A and B are shown apart, each in its own frame.
Chain A
Amino acid sequence: MSEVNNQRRAFLKTSLGAAAVAIAPGMLLFDMAHGSTEPVSGKVRWGMLIDTNQCKPGCDECVTACNTENGLSGGKLPTDSQWIRKIEIKDISTGRQSSLPMMCQHCEHPPCVDVCPTAASFKRADGIVLVDKHRCIGCRYCMMACPYKARSFVHEPLHDQNPDVPRGKGTVESCTLCVHRIDEGLQPACATSCPNKAILFGDLNDPNSPIAQKLRTVASTQVRADLKLNTGIRYQGL
């Protein structure tokens, strides 16, 4: 009888050990997937390369994806928030038309940060330009300073925001490069939603990243490069 009990004990001990080994790596992965407790690294600079040859006129999948991800109404009134918009441009002398998405260009030297009186507008170490809404007083200087018209002001009280994207009346907001997704290791919503893969997202500082490799081989331009803001968003085929 006692022999049987001993066997039973030994079996239980081994299976418990095996279970612990099996669960431990899973728990580690779960912790890793939920964003780091360490501050973001200044060695990274997030950016995008937008291929205007692949961007189709009339298509607004990126705009819709942005609205859904960040809980924007998608309305077209002057008082509605818009973080990304589609633009159709035409060269008058040749008649060549192109289509492109325009949003916060995540400048290295952002004018919105320069003018902000409360330091609410700031650039994170990894190059993402954000508004700290805890500090924003809604003065809208940054909206006037931005050469890309990228920012919006929230005029009305909001309800039922995305738990990952807090937004509120009386503050200025703009494209965050989907910072909540980046911190989880995902790509911005517009980049993943583009049906023609026109938006390439990645680390501009990593020479081995697909975006840095492509930037080395194709001609790309910054919008209003004359302002020397060194934007993180670049366009190909303009």
Chain B
Amino acid sequence: MRLIALLLLCLCATVVWAGQTTPFKLDIGQGGKCVKDPEWMRKNHMQLLKHQRDEAVRKGARDDKVSLKTCVECHASTKDNSVIARDDSFCVACHRYEAVKLDCFECHSGVRKSYWLKRNAK
């Protein structure tokens, strides 16, 4: 009986996750219209980024629509212009919840480019 209850609870959690809401606090930044719908992005954004990185680095085909810089531009927090600065930042919150290590920002900047340029012009 207890097992069935637990199973039901798990199913409920999945349903909530598949919907528009997240089971944790998440700052989506400006948000707006993404290149794909959010549900698809949650599962497959890494494929898109990996494909784009090889095209851009090795062939020089820079598609701004799917570049990491553009992701950051939309999804960096409106408070601190970053996707990684806080526990509820766009990339950090989800990756922490899923326990998946986030390597991108050891090299890439997690800060909105427009903000970075403004700060470094001073």
Contact = CB atoms under 8 A, between A and B. Distances in A.
Asked if A and B bind, the verdict is yes
Interface of A: 34-40, 122, 124-126, 130, 132-134, 157-158, 160-164, 166-169, 171, 179, 183
Nearest to A35: B62
Contacts of B108: 161, 163, 166
A215 B87 CA distance: 56
B interface secondary structure, majority = helix
B48 to A, nearest CB: 14
Contacts of B64: 34-35, 37
Contacts of A130: 57
A interface secondary structure, majority = loop
Chain B interface residue number, banded: 20 to 34
Given A158-B107, A183-B62, 18 more contacts: A40-B60, A122-B58, A124-B60, A125-B60, A126-B60, A130-B57, A132-B57, A133-B107, A134-B54, A161-B109, A162-B109, A163-B69, A163-B72, A163-B109, A163-B111, A164-B69, A166-B108, A168-B106
Contacts of A126: 60
A134 B106 contact: no
Contacts of B60: 36, 39-40, 124-126, 179, 183
A158 B108 CA distance: 10
Contacts of A124: 58-60
Given A130-B57, A132-B57, A160 B62 contact: no
A39 B109 contact: no
A124 to B, nearest CB: 6
Contacts of A168: 106-107
A40 B61 CA distance: 7
